[in-house]
Amino acid sequence: MSWQLVARKDFEDAIRSWMLWAIISVFVTLMVIVTAGANANTEGAPEFAEFVNFFTTLGGELLIPLTALMVGYLAITGERQSGSLRLLFGLTHDRRDVMIGKLTSRAGVMVIAALVTCVTAGVMGIVLGSPVPLDTFLVFTGFTVLLALSFIGIAIGVSARSATRMRSMGGVIGSYVLFVVLWQPIVAGIHYLSYGELAGLEPPEWYLFAKLLNPIEAYRQAMMLLIDETVFGLFGWEFMVENLGEGAQDGSAELMLTNRVAGDLPIYLSEWAIVVVLLVWFVVPVALGYRAFENADLN
């Protein structure tokens, strides 16, 4: 099929340009840093929960999203601005082939890098005398891959809609700022306007769901459910825009979804809801980007 040819060439270009190897090297270096951080916080061999906690903050909120956005933001815009798209169209490829091929290739780069990172974490756990249960390892790996895919989807969607490199770069930077800096204050502001106060430890379920629609927050909550302890974000927005009290700052499990909802978690706050959220961020931006790309004047 034509899109497979596009994907194969783009993936081979990524290998020849050392993109894939550079990403893998950075991610493996991250695991060394995470191991050192986890080891410094524990006596003896660090538990896998410590690995996950450090990795979620550094990798899940910073490195994986930014890397995926950088891998994908020029996938189509770069070809469009350089004139290479006309060459591709001259080889019987259409816009759908280009979109699917580029998405497949760039997603493949990030999936391989994420898998290598997770395997490295598992191997280091064994070497340090803290082997990881297989089911826990598979869940950790699955959600990490989904996080990488969600940001590749966002980047490809932005790239498909952008006519220039600057617009594409602005789009991916804006999306990252939205998720990391603006999302939590916006949701907290809506709660304040609705109730006249900041959200507490047991806010309305819609508030928690609105936070969960952020892919970075969704991944963080998934990791918290996996290791059964609180994972703090880089900015610590909860302590700035929520009324949590002093007890929530001691690293306990009070900020987990299971402890902020009375009774059982509703389906829209469960692990399966997190899977759906991450998949939606992979699919919807690509679909919107393809629609704009299909109607764009490329001359």
What digits encode the pLDDT tens for the residues 102-123?
A: 999 999 999 999 998 888 888 8
Q: Nearest to residue 107, comparing CAs of 10, 221, 188?
A: 10
Please determine, for residue 39, whether its predicted confidence score (pLDDT) is greater than 80: no
Give percent of the chain above pLDDT 90.
46
Backbone angles phi, psi at 199, to 5 degrees: -65, 140
Task: Give a yes or no: residue 162 inside a domain.
Answer: yes
Task: Check if the beta carbon of residue 115 is closer than 8 Å to that of residue 145.
Answer: yes
Domain membership of residue 187 as a residue range: 2-282
Question: How far apart (Å, rounded) are the C-alpha atoms in residues 289 and 156?
Answer: 7
Q: Which two tokens stand for residue 125?
A: 């756990």
| pTM greater than the 0.85 cutoff | yes
Mean pLDDT to the nearest integer, 47-65: 85
Task: Give a yes or no: residue 293 inside a domain.
Answer: no
User: Which of 41-45, 50-54, 254-258 has the least mean pLDDT?
Assistant: 41-45
Query: Regarding predicted confidence, which is higher, 100 or 53?
Result: 100
By CB atoms closer than 10 A (0-12, 13-18, 19+), residue 139 is middle
Q: How many domains does the chain have?
A: 1
Query: Regarding predicted confidence, which is higher, 105 or 12?
Result: 105
Task: Give a yes or no: residue 90 inside a domain.
Answer: yes
